[in-house]
Structure 1
Amino acid sequence: MSMTNARSLAILLAGVTTLAWVAPAAAQTTDPLQTSDDSSADPALDQEGEEIVVTGIRASLENALDIKRDAIGVVDAISAEDIGDFPDANIAESLQRISGVSIDRVNGEGRGITVRGLGPEFNTVLLNNRLLSTEVGGRSFSFDILSSELISGAEVYKSSEARLQEGGIGSTVILRTARPTDRAGTHFAGSAAGRHDSTSEEITPFLSGVLSHSNADRTFGVLVSAVYDKRNFNLTNISTDGWIIDQTIDTDGDGATDTSGVSLPRTLNFTATDSSRERIGGTFALDWVFSDQLKFTMDALYTQQKVASRTNQLGYYVDPARITDATVNANGTATEFTVLPATANAGLASDNIVSTAPQDARTYQIGGNFTWTPNDELTVVVDGAHSNSRDAADQLFYVVGTRQVGVTPTFILDGPGGLPTMTNVLPANDRSRPLLHCCSERGGRNGDTTNQATVDATWDIDGLLDKLQGGVLFTNRKKISIVRESPEPLGCFYCGYLAEAPGSLFSDFSADVLGRPMTWLDYDRDALVAYYGSDAAVSQVGDESQAAIDARNRFLAVYRGNNNSLDPIDRERGSGTVRENTFAAYLQASFEGDFGGSRWTAMAGGRVIHTDLHATGYSVTLLDIIQNPADPTAAVPVYSPTIPVDADNSYTYFLPTLNFRLNITEDLVFRLAGSRTLTRPTLSRLGLSQDFVFRPPNSNTVSGGNPFLKPFLAWNADAGVDYYLNRSSYVSINGFYKKLQNFIISGQQPEEYFGLTFIANRPYNAQNGEVYGLEAAVQTTFDFLPAPFDGFGVSANYTKVESSIRFDPSLSNQTFNVEGLSDSANLIAFYEKGLFQFRAAYNWRDGFLRQTFGPQSQPENIGAYSQVDLSGSIKINNQLSFFGEVLNLTNEKFRSFSRFEERLITLSDQGRRITAGLRASF
């Protein structure tokens, strides 16, 4: 955000705050604690004592604000406007409207949340207070697999309590599904809509429904919900796969390398991806009140997300040794360079790449809960839950290239439209030149199983000690990761562009890549695989020496033994399992009393946790590396047989908490909180297996896990003041401080294997750091204005985040940074009056460091991003309404870069999505 924009937002916040403070004075005839919509605006109804019913956006704001106001600590919430009607199509998109919360997007959809600068792995997400397994390799929750139609509310605990499950240094997020006994009788809410993505010509369906029934006294109820959501989209991007640094190249065209310390793009890629995402989900809930003392509830959730995608990419892989002339800026970035003409056996090639990235993720959870209330003072809750997630998908990656013979390709960093380009190249769709290069099919199987059991007791006491709570928790979690890959030597048999391919295999692929019309080669995977195993292709590799004949025979034997395909097989190397058992117990006491004319409430407690971890994997020794003389960027490893290995680790910590609230007046509230919190290492970092990636001469890596990692720890302090103007309006300012310990980083150091240098990437506990900042928020409805303007309302917030450790792009030896820190802001304006409802939301997140060691082991930064979303509805009658939504109205693009802004990593479109449909409720 520019200084002008930041100043404008600050002025807007100040102006809205001032208006909110003076609003009650301008509306002296209105009860500041009561709002109403048109259905209850008749003063006679109020005089007769009938219930005033508030619905729609205002009801959602009031419900959320009630949660915030009643909390002792720092809590924000979002409530569905009605059953099955969450404010946004994606839960993460709704959560980002809360101050201090920002999101990470994948394919334009919110996937993970960052709270106060701490990313997805630092935030514990619970569904109905239960841990939900995840299909990804770590612990972070993927919001894109769960439809918002299944959720009735969400609470974000920014300060901790002893009763909350540990794991969230950033926050604890509790998602809640609707309960069938919330309302008596039979109720249904459903919607049907069509969605159009600006990157696709198709309109895809969205269907949802929630049906609940409860008897009149609400002692028995059942609820079922279902959702079907499909999205088709075609996204394009330009990328570089990161930058290789400290290269020595020719900058004056004299044929001799004369300039060192130069950074070059690893590749230049133009990419178009055609994807179809299908999400199916449902919930089931049962409430059964056996008596005044005993209640049983059961919840079940199932969600499935399938993604089919096909990517066509045109890529140019840069070899520093063949640069003949270059221009370098003050940062050492090559902004333009010329490449020597290729020969038949060496030099730059244009790669025609076909790949896929499918997803088949399924998650379910089932839980049961008994609540026993033997008397008015004591409540005991016993809860058990089982959750399982899996993601099983194999990916394709095929490369057919054309050597750039007879031309001198030139890379220009700031080409037409300000985008990088490669000029002086051969036509990318010339079917007379394709050569087989590299190919592989790879994938994996991720599985996550979580079992939990809790016992909680609450004793209500009338006096200074108001409440005493205690409980125990047991969690058993097992994470399995199975790596799959085409068997050797199928993957790199043709590396070095060793065999000509007939033009009949190819067709033209055309795409508009970020406003740049382009055409390159496309091909059918099955036809290409068949040609890979043909005598015509295999006979072109090698000479008539015995070693070459043996290599060809070995390839054919593996190919035919693999069902005449490159289908992947399970691979022990890189696979592994992590089992984790956690025991926790807590005790928490609440106090309350009077201090002068003010009411105070305090909560103090402690939580003890013990974790046992057992990791299994496979050890392998690298016996040799055979370099490919036809391709200096490829090599073939020789491994020893794998050997099973395992390791154990355990740790115990005490986590104290303290929360204090002082109601200075009925509407002015001061809060103070302190706690120690813990986040366990990402499960994928705890594995034992190591893996090698061979991309000579500059991009070899070796990576592995570390089962002996300690958890992240943090001491936290929060202080804030809230002023409540009425049931739906408030002004708030909060300061926070976190002292982080045991921060885990990916250590990077060179290791040499058989004459080649590898960057070793392994996690370990390192430095401490501090994160601190300020949150300001205001929300108000303009009831004091004359009709029809009294239907307007606005909500705005701004979060400033700082760290004691700051990323400095000029330093090449930084090994530790607090990643993900960024300022953020939201501005939401809404109107609700009579038949009409409208909401406009502006979200902004400043640029941030995503990871210290990103592509090519260099920093990856994300550029500042803003998005405008619109939604609205018109009531046709009391049961039926028409609604519409526009996401990413201005079609903003996503940009990432390396150490300096000119070192582009990715620039991609996100697409604008328009949804319109009908909603029914009765």
Structure 2
Amino acid sequence: MLHNNVRKSVIAVKMAIIAGAAVTAMPVVAQDDGAKEQQVEVIQVRGIRASQEANLNAKRYSNAIVDVVTAEDIGKFPDKNVAESLSRITGVGVSREFGEGEKITIRGASSSTNRTLLNGQTVATADWFILDNPGRSFNYTMLPSALVSDLEVYKSPLASIDEGSIGGTVILRTRTPLSMEANSLNLSLEGQYSEASEQWDPQLSGMYSWKNEAESFGVLVSAIKQDRKVVRQGFEVLGWPNNADLDAKLPSHIGVPRFEQDRERETLFLSLQSRPNDNLDMVLNILDSKVDANNHNQNWLIFVNNNAGSLTNTALENGSIVAGEVAAAGTAAYNFINRVSSTETRAIDFDLNYSADNFELHTQLGHTEAKGGTYRETSWEYGPAGGTGYDFDLRSGTPTANTEVDATDPTQFRPGWIWGGEKPTTDEETYAQFDFTIPVQKGAFTAIKTGAKYRMAERTQDRIAYSWHGPQTMTGNEDVAGSYLDHIFATCYDWAQCGLFNGTVNIDAVVNGNMTQQMAHNRHAMEQIAFDGLNGVPADFARSKNLAEIWTVEEDILALYVQGDFEGEGFRGNVGVRFVDTQQTSGGYEFSGDSWGLWTIDREWLTPEVLEWVETKNDYSEVLPSLNIAFDLSEDQILRFGAARVMARQDWNNISSSITYGSLNVAQPTGSASNPNLMPQIADQFDLSWEWYFDASALLAVTYFHKDIKSYRSFSTFVDQRYWEEGEVWVDVTFTRPENGPGGTTDGIELTFQQAFGDYGVSANYTYTNAQRDEERQLTRPGSGLVEGTSRHMMNASVYYETDTLSARLMYNYRTEWYKGLHFNGDELWNDSYGQLDASFGYNLTDTITLSLEAVNLTDEEVVEYNTDTARLFSIYQNGRRFTAGIRMAF
């Protein structure tokens, strides 16, 4: 059989990559897809070309359509987390809102409909950013690439792999001590410079692996610390409501923001492995990763929709007002927002493999939990006394915005409001998995695999609102009238008072006009006033639960599967079926509207007359068959076919019992509501692939994929009233709610080419994706007829040069525009086409010491977002270039 001819070299190369060191003439017992035990010789594999050969071999001899990136190859990328490494794979797209890869799409499927598994299991995740809603997508900022030995992207499913993906399943493998040399030590010391922050940040990592002489027990410890000063400047439009009086869409707010964050990531990983005999192998993995993500944002805003009746000199483009002027008394304000934010993930996993004469047993037990979010937010608004005249023009590639008031003069700004709160989230899962493999000789079948898995998951969100104007906030200070908020505003009657002014800042990266000339605020003074006190008066604020935004979702999943592996003369594959039963319980508060949806928990103030915790249950079962077959057309050509039914559960936030809304001091305020009765997304998919391995490090492949989506998520709207505390009135809010809608189809073609030419090499891939929905496109229904996450064209190109002492790689990643879903204000949000050029260089001082230089976003690309029509600009963000220099040592 052709595919058995080179299986020895496959195993050797893959094991050498994982080990990362030379191991020669060592007998290894290996098994792959039902292959018989074989004695192989593990060889040393180093460098870009060798690692790419290992990647191709792993892909070539798999029984599914899968792409692989090994640790050696990851080390040659300028990537600081796994998402950026994944962006090099055919059909994978990455979002980079803050300049670093965070979430991925696969074959046009949105980030929430793809799963990421660490050693085959879920990793809990909780977002740090207050505007992010808990979803199914994994936040890759939690996982440094140095932790991973290899990663696999399964585009055609197996019955034995967890369900939950429409586009593909990413499986990350960590290193194990018995696969490495005893007393292996790897160190990396790097400094990263960011043009946006104009600051150097440290990047440190270390890994030590030990095993006894009998190679029956080993310990691996890895520690990673990566700091980064994040600065993002830009231009924002916070909504495009339709104004009935003008019969046009126009900007709700226009702002020029500056975001700063001190991001500190620390990751600890421990692996204990015991192999007391040839039949038993046990691994205990413990992961703890934390990102401190404190951030502050300032935004100088003009409120265009509030002043719609005063607009003159307007310009209309495609039914949208994209330029205009307000002569005087226009509404404008500074928002200064400080946030204490973090996210932390922990996981403990026990993996046991036992081989007997007539069966194999695999057991995996574990628990993972995450907590994160914004633990304290303080937002202050100051506006110009008497308003201001202003003008704006969004018609060129660089927008323009000007105000009459001098935005650098702190004496011109009077207090408007202070608000704040907390938004912590948690994610937790406990799992138990049992898999049996029974060798058989029944026709072409070589093994029967069967197993069961039980998962208990819980996702929660809490929401606390701070009210500095609340009652009893001046207890003990009866000589001062009003609330603590009144005391702040009476004392800090303009921004020049109380130490709040901290000089000026120029935000001119992506926008023209004098709105780029701004004040800088003193974060320390602002938080000291809000939380410590002012002029001898202790700070105080009421803490109230925002009942509509507090929820818990519990999910119990039982999965059973059976899979048969087969092979014959010139073919191999597997066929199976997975049965999955899902039980969801969504809990939230049901309450009366007499307390504005708030319940004060630290004093007597707001308590709704009706307050009850209510739960909604939603149960469903799915049968998911799958087939994968590979035909050896010749010694170096393979034809693959795959067919399967797949599923993806809806985002946690969408199936919760929550309702959120934005600012109420604007015309036509908007909000979002959830739907606990949503059913999962189901798809039938087919894959056909031709692969030609015309050299050891060469590949030409063409893949066609088709997905018949049974139901996409749609949205409906309703209007409800909310109380505006500052204005002391009830206002109508238009809420958007998800629902199960019609399905559609996605098909596409993937092209992959890779080849080495002596010391040079090239790899390139291209993906065409055509995604269509059966739902009618209605511009009055946001999101209708659109598919999230799909770029019609995506491509990657990489060239490298490598000798024994020098390596260099240049990489370009590009994708055309894609729909990102609904903005928090309910508008459709699109990301414009994005391309990024990266580079990496390495110089081997010795066999164990390498100097490295890396560059990210060399062309200084900007993230541009718009509202369906490119004329309706949403945002332009500049994250800047990043450069990293360092030294890597392996002993």
Q: What TM-score, normalized to structure 2?
A: 0.86
Query: 1:616 Cα deviation (Å)?
Result: 1.3
Is 1:685 aligned with 2:654? yes
Q: Which residue of structure 2 lines up, in the alignment, with residue 631 of structure 1?
A: none
Q: 1:383 aligns with which of 353, 364, 389?
A: 364
- Corresponding position: 1:264 with 2:264: no
Matched, 1:339 2:326: yes
Moved more, 499-508 or 180-189: 499-508
Match of residue 660, structure 1, among 592, 607, 629: 629
Q: Tell whether the 8 Å contact from 1:775 to 1:798 is kept in structure 2 after alignment.
A: yes
Structure 1 unpaired stretches of 5+:
1-32, 41-48, 249-259, 538-558, 627-636, 783-789
What do the CA deviations read for 1:129-183 (whole angstroms, capped 9, x no partner)?
1111111312210111111111111000001110010111111110010111113
Per-residue Cα deviation, 1:487-537 (whole angstroms, up to 9, x for no partner): 375599789x99943633342321233165843234445655787899999
Secondary structure in 2 matching 1:890? coil
Judging changes above 3 Å, is the alpha-carbon distance between structure 1 residues 694 and 354 closer, same or farther for their aligned structure 2 residues? closer
For 1:470 and 1:588, the matched residues in 2 are separated by: 6
What is the aligned partner in structure 1 of residue 474 from structure 2?
none
Distance in 1, Cα, partners of 2:402 & 2:841: 47
Kept after mapping to 1: 8 A contact 2:743/2:775:
no
Contact 1:83–1:210 (8 Å) recurs in 2:
no
Cα distance change, pair 467–246 in 1 and its aligned pair in 2 (3 A): same
- C-alpha displacement of 1:755: 7.7
- Does 2:331 correspond to 1:348? yes
SS of the residue corresponding to residue 583 of structure 2 reads strand
Aligned equivalents of 1:755 and 1:83: distance in 2? Answer: 55
- Residue in 2 that maps onto 1:513: 508
Letter in 1 for 2:587: T
Please give the secondary structure, in 2, of the residue aligned with 1:71: coil
Q: What residue is the counterpart of 2:95 in the other structure?
A: 104
TM-score by length of 1: 0.83
For 1:278 and 1:535, the matched residues in 2 are separated by 29
Q: 1:234 to 1:689 in 2, by over 3 A?
A: closer
Question: 1:73-95 deviations in whole A, cap 9, x for unaligned?
Answer: 21001001189777622211111
Counterparts in 2 of 1:894 and 1:330: CA distance versus 1, 3 Å:
closer
Q: Which amino acid aligns with 1:734?
A: T
The code of the aligned residue for 1:315 comes to L
Rate the CA distance shift 1:809–1:337 in 2: closer, same or farther, 3 A.
farther
CA shift, 1:570, in A, is: 4.5
Compute the displacement of 1:752 (Å).
Answer: 6.1
Q: 1:134 to 1:921 in 2, by over 3 A?
A: same
Indicate if the aligned counterparts of 2:484 and 2:539 stay in contact, CA closer than 8 A: no
Which residue does 1:439 correspond to in 2?
A: 418
SS in 2 for 1:804: strand
Are 1:575 and 2:550 counterparts?
yes
- Give the superposed CA RMSD: 3.2
Residues 681-706 of structure 1 deviation map (CA, whole Å, 9 limit, x = unaligned): 11111211334445256332343322
Shift of residue 858, structure 1, vs aligned partner: 2.1
In the alignment, which residue of structure 2 is the partner of 1:824?
Answer: 794
What CA distance in whole angstroms lies between the structure 2 residues aligned with 1:433 and 1:265?
25
Letter in 1 for 2:814: W
Q: Of 271, 283, 290, which residue of structure 2 is paired with 1:285?
A: 271
Once the two structures are overlaid, the 10-residue window that deviates more, 423-432 or 222-231, is 423-432
Partner residue in 2 for 1:61: 52
Asked if the contact 1:474/1:583 (under 8 Å) is kept, the reply is yes
| Superposed CA offset, 1:292-332 (max 9, x none) | 22221111111111112222221111214442424233411
Alpha carbons of structure 1 residues 871 and 531: separation in structure 2 relative to 1, 3 Å:
closer
Distance 2:223 2:534 in 1: 54
Aligned twin of 1:373: 355
Which digits, 9 at most, give the CA deviation of each residue in 1:741-770, with x for residues without a partner? Answer: 232233224456798432122221111111
Structure 1 residues 631-642: aligned runs within 5 Å:
641-642=610-611
Cα distance change, pair 322–438 in 1 and its aligned pair in 2 (3 A):
farther
Q: Give, in angstroms, the shift of residue 856 of structure 1.
A: 3.8
Q: Secondary structure at the match of 1:503?
A: coil
For the residues of structure 2 that align with 1:502 and 1:283, how far apart are their CA atoms?
A: 47
Q: Which amino acid aligns with 1:475?
A: R
Q: Which residue of 2 aligns with 1:503?
A: 496
- Partner Cα distance (1:760, 1:729) in 2: 53
SS at match of 1:61: helix
What is the alpha-carbon distance in structure 2 between the residues aligned to residue 296 and residue 605 of structure 1? 27
Q: How far is the alpha carbon of 1:716 from its aligned partner?
A: 0.6
Aligned partner of 1:482 in structure 2 is 462
Q: Is the 8 A contact 1:184 1:213 kept in 2?
A: yes
8 Å CA contact 2:713–2:739 kept in 1: the answer is yes
2:188 and 2:889 in contact (8 A); partners too: yes
1:305 corresponds to 2:291: yes
Partner amino acid, structure 2, of 1:244: P
- The answer to whether the 8 Å contact 1:271/1:513 transfers is no
Residues in 2 aligned to 1:726 and 1:536: alpha-carbon distance in whole angstroms: 73
For the pair 1:294 / 2:276, whether they are aligned, the reply is no
Q: Is the 8 A contact 1:163 1:607 kept in 2?
A: yes
- Partner SS, residue 497 of structure 2: helix
Quick check: 1:84–1:189 contact (8 Å CA) kept in 2? no
- 1:473 is aligned to 453
2:552 is aligned with what amino acid?
Answer: T
* Map of 1:633 onto structure 2: none
Residue of structure 2 equivalent to 1:121 = 112
1:807/1:333 CA distance change after superposition, 3 Å: farther
Asked if the contact 2:686/2:707 (under 8 Å) is kept, the reply is yes
Q: Greater Rg, structure 1 or structure 2?
A: 1
What corresponds to 1:838 in structure 2? 808
Tell me the equivalent position of 1:215: 212
The one-letter code matched in structure 1 to 2:582 is: T
Cα distance, 1:357–1:158 mapped onto 2, change above 3 Å: farther
Q: Give the match's secondary structure for 1:109.
A: coil
Q: Which amino acid aligns with 2:331?
A: L
What's the CA shift string for 1:215-261, capped at 9, x where partnerless? Answer: 3453222111111111113220111112122442xxxxxxxxxxx32
Q: What is the identity, as a one-letter code, of the residue corresponding to 1:770?
A: T
Paired residue for 1:550?
none
In structure 1, distance between residues paired with 2:808 and 2:429: 41
Change (3 A) 1:580 1:624: closer
User: In 1, are the aligned partners of 2:532 and 2:539 still within 8 Å (CA)?
Assistant: no
Whole-angstrom CA distance in 1 between matches of 2:564 and 2:307 = 65
Q: Deviations over 1:651-677 (max 9, x none)?
A: 111000011110111110000000001
Give how far 1:810 is off.
8.6
Distance 2:110 2:266 in 1: 27
Percent identical residues: 26
8 Å contact 1:874–1:881 — kept in the other structure?
Answer: yes
Residues 606/92 of structure 1: CA separation in 2 closer, same or farther (3 Å cut): same
Aligned residue runs from structure 1 range 88-237, under 5 A = 88-136=79-127, 137-237=134-234
Choose which of 677, 686, 706 in structure 2 pairs with 1:708.
677
Matched residue, 1:460? 439
Report the equivalent of 2:620: 651
Change (3 A) 1:569 1:207: farther
Structure 2: runs of 5 or more not aligned:
1-11, 23-39, 128-133, 471-482, 598-605, 723-728
The answer as to whether partners of 1:243 and 1:856 remain within 8 angstroms in 2 is: no
Alignment counterpart, residue 451 of structure 1, candidates 430, 439, 448: 430
1:865 aligns with 2:834: yes
SS at match of 1:573: helix
1:800 paired residue among 768, 790, 797: 768
Aligned mates of 2:365, 2:95 — CA distance in 1: 31
Note if contact 1:887-1:914 (Cα within 8 Å) is conserved in structure 2.
yes
Specify the alignment match of 1:29 in structure 2.
none
Q: How does 1:557-636 map to 2 (within 5 A)?
A: 564-566=539-541, 570-594=545-569, 599-623=570-594
- C-alpha displacement at 1:356, in angstroms? 2.5
Q: 1:34 to 1:617 in 2, by over 3 A?
A: closer
